[in-house]
Every structure is written in C-alpha cells, then in structure tokens.
Structure 1
Amino acid sequence: MSAPRVEIDLSKIRQNTETLVGRLKTRGIGVTGVTKAVCGLPAVAQAMLDGGAVGLADARLGNVIRLRNAGVSRHITLIRTPLLSQTDQVVRVCDASYNTEMVVITALAAAAIRQGTVHGINLMIELGDLREGILPEDLSAIAEQVLDMPGVSLTGIGANFGCLGKIAPDAAKMAILTSLAEEIENLCCTCLQTVSGGNSANLTLAFRGQQPSRINDLRLGESILLGVDPLSRAHIVGMHRDAFALVAEIIETDTKPDSAQICAADTALSGRGLNPTEKVGNRLILALGHQDTDIFGLSMPPGYSLVGATSDHLVIGTNREVPRVGSEVRFQMAYSALMRAMAAPDIEKKAHHNRGATHAQTTQSEDEGLALA
C-alpha cells in the first residue's frame, strides 16, 4: 500500500452520524452532513447519509459535481455564497444555496428559469462571526424580494458561528435567529423549511437543550468526522476520534547534530522549521511536509515528538528503537490537517468499512468531554 495516504473508516463516520442524529432528533433538529473537509468524497457522504443525515452540504461547486457524478442524488446545499460566474452550474447540481447578495440571487433565478427548475434560497444572517451574512435589519426587505422572484424559492435562513470571528453561539443569538424566522414568516405569509442554527460549534447549546424549538437544522462536518467540539477541542463523549489516520513512510533514519545554525535568509517558512527546544534521541525523516498537510495539526504517536518540517520533509524524534527505512508512522489529525491532506493530490485516500467497529465507549478518562445529553 502506497504512502502517504489517508485511511478512512467509513463505519466510524456512519456511527458518529448516527449518534448525533439520534441525540438531536429528540430536540427536533435534523443533521445536514458537511463534506467540504473531505473534498466531497462520495464514500464519506454516503456514510453520513447511511447514518441518518437528512441531506448534504458543501462549500465548493467542484465537490458537489464530484458527488453528483458518483450518483449521489440526495438533497445538496451549497453553503458558501455562489460565485456569480458559476450560477448556471450551481442551479444544475445544487438543490439550494446559502446567499447574501441580491445580484447573485437574481442570476440564480435567471439560470433556474432557463433550466426549467426552481432553486432553493437560504439567506445567511450575520450574527457575530463577521464572515458572510445579511445584517438582521436588512433581512425582511431581501426576503420580500426573493419571494417575488420567479425561478427561486425562499426555503430557509441560517447563521454561522465559530469560524472567522471564533464567536460562540449562545441562547441570545439563537433567540434572535428564531425571532427573525418568525418575522419573515409573518411578513411574507410563508413557512420556512429550514432554520439552520449553525455548525458543529452549536452542539454544546443543543445538548443542553438551549436551542429554541424553531431551530430545526445544524450543518455538521467536524463533529461527525473527528468527534470533537470545534470551539473547545473537547472530545464528544461516545464519538469516534479516529475515523481518519494519516500514514507516512520513513525515508531516512541517520543521526544529525542536535542543533543547526539558522541562516537569516531562511524566512520562507519562518517558525515552521526546526523546533530548537525539542531534544530527541533518534531522528526520523518522513515523506510528508507542509505542502501535504498542516504539520502542526498532527498528533504525534506515543513515544514520538515533532522536530520540524519543510515543504516535503517531516522530521520527528523518538527515544524508542529506530524503525527501518520503509516503515510507516500513523498520525491522528486535527481539522486543519485533515482538510489539507484530503485536498493534497499526492496523498492517496483509502476508504474502508470496518465491519467489527462498534459505537465508541465512554471511559472514565473521558468524563471531561462534551456530553451528549
């Protein structure tokens, strides 16, 4: 088997989805599985659907096309504002999209009319993350324009948290979102299909029962894929954290000096080379680098430590017996490392079903994790 590669346990992804779907269903919240971190890998999308996700979402049109070409026919929403230059393709492959700009919505409507279809419009609202979103005071006027526009249908509203501004959702922000949904429904005499409270950062609120009943959707990616809360990095109790592993091959085991003179010209990867404080016994060089993944998003296996990395080489240290050249080392990944590894063309992706996988068990050491209830 070639390396580097990402090994993907589809059974654990399905089980993680099942766990979240089951817990959120009791609170009237459906799960939309987000596939952007895995570049729309169809096998992962299917595992989410098999686990009970009501639909899929992605930020990139190319990923959605990949899903459609693989035969995925379920509801797919584009969660990044569509590019004006891609509106025809968006209507062709996406059932709905999140939008903030009337010029884009107008183009989507025109494309839908040409294609003889109706495209769903979800309006994204700015509630503190300071990324994309319509200001709350402008929402009603835009909603009225969408309702009067042939070719599109106002299907929902949503908000986003924990991304650019790292703002955590709270009960007050969810109350505002609920109030805005009710305002639109009363003003426009319509019923919104989707009121999406946010993403994996909303799980703490949802598990505590602090999401208003009008919130009926969460867009979940990181929590399903990695079993963690993206804000606190806490493990979600009962979830698998090892559905993905990055495997790299050792290409050198020779001894090197403990330190090196750093030339003033070495600025291209400033702060990303040697770790001068790391004292190691034996150094190993692996065929992996910054061009492949976020090195600082890798968890070192027990007995190993990070020495440094360049674009194509990862240097780790160990006080254990030195493995042979050609041996492999397995790493767990944070979200930043996962999404870059999945997008790297030189990293093979190997998905498999672990028929013996069981739902993750809670252990005493996990008591401080994010509880599901």
Structure 2
Amino acid sequence: MVSSSLDIDLDKIRYNAAQVKQMCQQQGIAVLGVTKGFSAIPEIVSAMLAGGVDGLADARMENIVELRNVGFDQPITLLRIPRLSNVKNVVRYATISVNSEITVIKALAEEAKKLHTQHQVVLMIDVGDLREGVMEEHVLETVNQISHLQGVKLLGLGTNMGCFGGVLPSIDNLGRLVELGNSIQNQLGIQLEIISGGGTSTLSLVEDQKVPAGVNQLRIGEGILLGTDSTNQRRIPWLCDDAFLLRAEVIELKDKPSVPIGDIGRDAFGKVPQFTDVGVRKRAILALGKQDVIIEGIIPVDENLKILGASSDHLIIDVTDSSTNIQVGDSVSFRLTYSGILSASQSRYISKKFRGG
C-alpha cells in the first residue's frame, strides 16, 4: 500500500491547455502538449488533448511507445535528439523527431526506407542556450545534406530555451531562427512548415504579442501542467496553478530541539547538514522521502510550515506555526514545481488520484 498520493485535477489541466491553445492560435502558433513532465500518464494526456493541443511531444521513447500501445494515434514528436542505436523505434513510433546530428538523420533515413515510410525531422538550432542544436553558421550546409536524403523530410527548424543555459527567448534570438528559415527558402529553395520557438518560457512573448512573425509552434508542458514559468520565475496569472497536489501522512509528531545532539558528521547522502538553534519546535515526520520525490520540488500549501530536511523515507517539517492543529494520521498537502511533478509522477510509491475529466 502506497503511503502518499498525487491528486490530479484533470479539468484544470484541460482548462490550461485550452487557454494556452486559444492565446497561441490567435497569433498563428500551434501548441504541442509536452507529456514528459508527468511520464505520459494517459489520463493527463487525454485532458491535454481535450483542451485542444495540436499534437503531443515527449523526450522518452518509452513514453511514446506506451502511448501508441494504449491507442493514442495523434502526431507525436520526440523531443530528445534520437540515439543512433534506437532509430528503428524512432521511425516506427514517433511521427517527428528533433535532430542535430547528420549521422543520426542519415540513419533515420535508411531505417525509414526499410520500413517503406518517411520520417519527419525538425533541425534544432543553437541560438545561445548551448544545449542541443547546430550552430547557426552550419545550418545551410546541414540542411543541404538533409535535402539529398530519401526517407526523411525536413519539416522545419526548432530551438531550445532555458533548459541548460537559462537563456530566455527574445525577439532577437527567435528572430534569428526565422531569418535562418528564410535563408533556407531563398538559397536552397526549401519551404519549411514549422519554426518551433521553444516552450513555456516563450509564453511571456505571446502574452505581449512580441513573438516574431514566422514562429508557428511552441512546445508547452510546465505552463499547462502547473501554470508556472520557472525560467522567467513567474506564476502565469491566466492559468491554474493547483492542478497537482501531493499529500503525505504524518507518522510522528513531537517537540524536539532544533539542533541535533552530538558530533555532526555527514548525512546518508554524504552532505554535512547545517542547523540554526531556534529552540524547541514541534516537528512532524511524514511518510515521504527522497526516494519518492525531489524534496526541493515541493512547497507546503500551508505557508506557515517549513521543510527542515529529508532522508530516503522521511520528510521532517516544522509545524509549530501551522494554521491548523496537525495530528498523527493527518495529511499534509504540497504544491509542486516542475522537478517535483517530474519525480512524483513516476514514483511507484505515490498513488495517482484523478478528479474531473
């Protein structure tokens, strides 16, 4: 029996998807619902689709295969550049894949020919974040090579923002992506269907109607799921931010000193813990630990509670100033950040409970 639960409001996820779709559609931008943040749980995928997203996208082939196996036949884009050793599955299960290595694209083309199909690719361009992508000066050469391959079709260009270097999308860097698309058309005679301008962090430009003309796709996960934009450090005011709540049970409640007694060594994870003496405090231990969720990714709903730390199986919180009279057996609720939902959704120790839909 699992000791904690992730409560998921499908109606709020559907609402967020519909709001994002409506705002983007008004500016000619299609929305891919990114499913990797919640391990592509089918009920949540269905809520995204009910909200009107134009397609799905995931970074894990395992998730894409599972979605196909349970009957999802919508276009699915593989968001992590493919492994050379896995091109057969990429062609078989993903409609589109993002790519940056010509060697892999050639392998995809060969595999697609064997399967008597055509695989669509989006060439990723590095405009500054320094994760995946061809450098701008090599784009035309790479596109020219792709154009001579049978078995693949260059669907468009894409870029990634905020995931490694923290670079924010801007009129300048997205404008350069559009200009590269224009150069491909003018110099190579290749018409691109997609200019994919990033993810949730680009929504701030959408709100201000500052997305450069020509960008016609965004890949949205965090915004739809959590109503937040961690790269820009903001809550998105027109979206719900409470579609997910993590609940864990109190298994101990005692008054204890705020500083351990004895010589301090390293904890179970090799770190030397630091403590501040604030006297005796009422502390609760919850049946939740680092094996269940990334502790830095959860935030108590009751702002008067303070997370003190965690071991593999126990979460220790200070409940002295709690707005309610917490007792052993009660549940404590937490909101989640993107890292929190990423880990909680795939934990087999956390049950998933759905509302709405």
| Mapped pair 1:200 → 2:204 | no
Residues 276 and 312 of structure 1: CA distance in aligned 2, closer, same or farther (over 3 Å): farther
Counterpart among 329, 333, 337 of residue 334 in structure 1: 337
Residues 181 and 327 of structure 1: CA distance in aligned 2, closer, same or farther (over 3 Å): same
* Counterparts of 1:277 and 1:204, CA distance in 2: 42
Of 86-95 and 312-321, the range deviating more from structure 2: 312-321
* Counterparts of 1:136 and 1:51, CA distance in 2: 35
Query: Which position in structure 2 is the counterpart of 1:358?
Result: none
Give the 3-state SS of the residue equivalent to 1:195 in structure 2: strand
Query: Which position in structure 2 is the counterpart of 1:109?
Result: 109
Query: Which position in structure 2 is the counterpart of 1:324?
Result: 327
The amino acid across from 1:208 in the alignment is: D
Q: If each structure's strand is expressed as a fraction of its own residues, which one has the higher value?
A: 2
Deviation at 1:258, TM superposition (A): 2.6
| Mapped pair 1:54 → 2:54 | yes
The amino acid across from 1:336 in the alignment is: S
CA contact (8 A) 1:282 1:322 kept: no
The amino acid across from 2:330 in the alignment is: S
Report the TM-score when normalising by structure 1: 0.90
State the percentage of identical aligned residues: 38
CA contact (8 A) 1:280 1:318 kept: no
The amino acid across from 2:328 in the alignment is: V
Query: Which position in structure 2 is the counterpart of 1:368?
Result: none
* Counterparts of 1:232 and 1:318, CA distance in 2: 31
Q: How does 1:32-47 map to 2 (within 5 A)?
A: 32-47=32-47
Give the 3-state SS of the residue equivalent to 1:31 in structure 2: strand
Of 299-308 and 175-184, the range deviating more from structure 2: 299-308
CA contact (8 A) 2:268 2:311 kept: no
Deviation at 1:3, TM superposition (A): 3.1
| Mapped pair 1:268 → 2:259 | no
* Counterparts of 1:5 and 1:108, CA distance in 2: 41
Deviation at 1:326, TM superposition (A): 2.3
Residues 176 and 278 of structure 1: CA distance in aligned 2, closer, same or farther (over 3 Å): farther
Give the 3-state SS of the residue equivalent to 1:8 in structure 2: strand
Of 44-53 and 8-17, the range deviating more from structure 2: 44-53
* Counterparts of 1:253 and 1:158, CA distance in 2: 51
The amino acid across from 2:331 in the alignment is: E
The amino acid across from 1:348 in the alignment is: S
Q: CA RMSD in A?
A: 1.8
Deviation at 1:323, TM superposition (A): 2.9
* Counterparts of 2:88 and 2:148, CA distance in 1: 20
* Counterparts of 2:228 and 2:184, CA distance in 1: 34
- TM-superposition CA deviations, 1:52-99 (whole Å, max 9, x none): 110010001001112111211000000110011111011111001000
Query: Which position in structure 2 is the counterpart of 1:141?
Result: 141
What stretches of structure 1 move > 4 A for 4+ residues in a row?
277-280
| Mapped pair 1:233 → 2:208 | no
| Mapped pair 1:214 → 2:217 | no
| Mapped pair 1:28 → 2:31 | no
- TM-superposition CA deviations, 1:269-311 (whole Å, max 9, x none): 426x565366673211011111221212211232321122112
Give the 3-state SS of the residue equivalent to 1:176 in structure 2: helix
Deviation at 1:153, TM superposition (A): 0.5
* Counterparts of 1:131 and 1:277, CA distance in 2: 43
Query: Which position in structure 1 is the counterpart of 2:119?
Result: 119
* Counterparts of 1:342 and 1:164, CA distance in 2: 22
Deviation at 1:267, TM superposition (A): 6.7
| Mapped pair 1:182 → 2:182 | yes
* Counterparts of 2:277 and 2:191, CA distance in 1: 59
* Counterparts of 1:304 and 1:65, CA distance in 2: 41
Deviation at 1:127, TM superposition (A): 0.5
Deviation at 1:7, TM superposition (A): 1.1
Q: Which runs of 5+ in 2 are unaligned?
A: none
The amino acid across from 1:132 in the alignment is: E
* Counterparts of 2:191 and 2:44, CA distance in 1: 32
Deviation at 1:189, TM superposition (A): 2.1
| Number of residue pairs matched by the alignment | 353
Residues 280 and 71 of structure 1: CA distance in aligned 2, closer, same or farther (over 3 Å): farther
Of 198-207 and 181-190, the range deviating more from structure 2: 181-190
